[in-house]
Amino acid sequence: MVHPPPNPAGSSGVIGIVLLNFTLLHLAPGDPAMVYIGEAGGASEETLKEIRREFGLDKSLAE
């Protein structure tokens, strides 16, 4: 049985959507660690630093 070749338009569409989501998440205002914990503000600065380190939010995009 012969399979049709992959659809390059579909692949580029998925890649485009992933890049758009990544860009929008990094341009959005606010602190992702604070959103992760909750806006109630019940976390200490040490906890926030730990979450930023765990998720790599303490690094620049180039790293």
The model's pLDDT over 7-61, given as tens digits with 9 standing for 90+, comes to 667 788 888 899 998 888 778 888 888 888 876 667 888 988 998 899 888 887 7
Give the per-residue pLDDT at 47. Answer: 87
Rounded Cα–Cα distance for residues 11 and 1 (Å): 23
Q: Tokens at residue 46, please?
A: 């040490």
DSSP secondary structure code for residue 49 in this structure: H
Give the per-residue pLDDT at 29. Answer: 85
Give the per-residue pLDDT at 39. Answer: 65
Burial class (CB in 10 A: 0-12, 13-18, 19+), 34: middle
Give the per-residue pLDDT at 41. Answer: 67
